[in-house]
Amino acid sequence: MNTAIVFVDKKDGQDLAMQRIIDKTLLGHTVNRLKKGGSQKTLVVSKEKWPLDDVIFLDDVRKIIENIEDEAGRVIITGIHYPAIESDVYHDLFNISGAGVVMNGGKTLDIFTMESRDFIHYDKLKYEAYNLKEEITEVKSAEDVVAFAKNLHKEINHRHLLNGVSFVDIDKTYIGEDVEIAKGACLYPDVYLEGETKIGKNTTITAGSHLIDATVGEDCNIMASRIDNSVLHNKVKLGPNSHLRMHCEIADGCRIGNYVEFKNTRFGKISRAAHLTYLGDADVGEDVNIGCGVITVNYDGAHKFKTVIKDKAFIGSNSNIIAPVTVGYQALVAAGSTVTRDVADGAMAIGRVRQEDKPGFGYRYITKEK
C-alpha cells in the first residue's frame, strides 16, 4: 500500500495549512495531489486536526509506525510547503526503482521516498538523488500562498481553455482542480466552480454563479445562481438568483426562474417554477406548473415531510402545500389555497377564506383624517 506522510509540525506551517486557495486549503491541495499520484493512505502529523476526508491525523511521530501497512509499498514523506509538485511527479516518486532524496537545483528538500518495510530504519538508509522535472514553488509565507494561488488559477483555466471551454474573462473565473468541463461550455466572470463539479457541453454559466459538487448537463443556462450537491440534466434554465441544494435532481427541459429555492427535490421533465418559490423534500412529476409564491411546508419543528405532485398538475400562485400530501395527476390547486390533505387526480382544491366586501369602508378609511 502506497502511503504519504505530510508533516505540519511548526506554528507557521499550521497557519499556512488552512490558507484557502480556490476550493481547497493549502494542505488540501497537497493531500489531493498525493492521492492522484498514487497515495492510498495519507497520514498528517500535526498538533492540530482539520476536517479533511480520508486523512489520518497523528500528533506523535512515533505513531506513524503503527499506521504503516506490513505489505510492501512505497512511502513518500513531505511537508505542505511544496504544493506545486504535480500529481504525475508524485506518481513517478511512487514508482521509481530504489528510494531517493528529492532534489531541486541541487537543493535537498524534505521530500523523499522509501520502502515501507524499511521505514523504521529510514534515518540509517542511503539514498540516491532523484531530480524533479519541474521547479518547485516553496510556500513559506502568506505572500507565497497568494503567488501560488495566482499560478494555480492560471494553470487550471488555461487547461480548460485548451480543451475548448470559452471564457468571457479568463482571469476572473475560478475553477477547482477536480472540476470537469466539456468542450463548448461558456463561463462568464465571477463564476466559481468547486469540488467535483461537472459541466456539460454548450452550457453557459453567467456571472455570480457558484457551483459546489454539482453536475450540469448539456445546453443548460445557469444565470447568477447557486447549486450545491445537485444534478441538472439537459436543456435546463436556472435563475437568475436561484438556489438548489441537498441532492436536488432537475430533469430535461425544466425552467426554474428567479428567487426560487429547491432543497432535496426531484423536478420532472419540462416542469416550471418561474419565480419566488420554495420546494423542500418534494417529488414533482413531468409538465407541472408551479405558480409564484408556492411553498411546500415540509417542517413541523421536529420532522421533515414529503410532498408529491404528480404529472401535469397546476399549482396556483401563493399556495401552501402542507406536507405530507399528494397532489394528483392533472389536479389543480387554486391560487391562494392552503392544502392540508391529498388532492385526487383531476380534482381542484380550494382552501382559502371567502372574500367579504364592506361597501364604502375603503373610501372612508382612505379619506379620514390622519
The catalytic residue positions are: 275
C-beta separation of 170 from 149 below 8 A: no
Contact 195, 174 (CB under 8 A): no
Quickly list H helices, the chain: 11-17, 26-36, 87-95, 142-162, 361-367
- The string of DSSP letters for 248-299 reads -EE-TT-EEEEEEEEES-EE-TT-EEEEEEEEESEEE-SS-EE-TT-EEE-B
CA distance readout (Å), 211 to 108, 150, 161, 193, 225? 40, 20, 19, 5, 8
Q: What cell numbers appear for 352 in the block?
A: 382559502
Strands in 23-158 per DSSP E: 24-25, 41-46, 55-58, 74-79, 100-104, 107-115, 128-131
* 277 and 294 Cβ atoms separated by less than 8 Å: yes
Beta bridge partner(s), residue 128 = 100
CA 364-365-367 angle, to 5 degrees, is 65
CB 277 within 8 A of CB 261: yes
Polymer length in residues for the chain: 370
In angstroms, the CA 13 to CA 320 distance is 53
Question: Minimal CA–CA distance to 270: which of 290, 252, 256?
Answer: 252
The C-alpha atoms of residue 167 and residue 150 are separated, in whole angstroms, by 17
Whether 181 contacts 159, CB under 8 Å: no
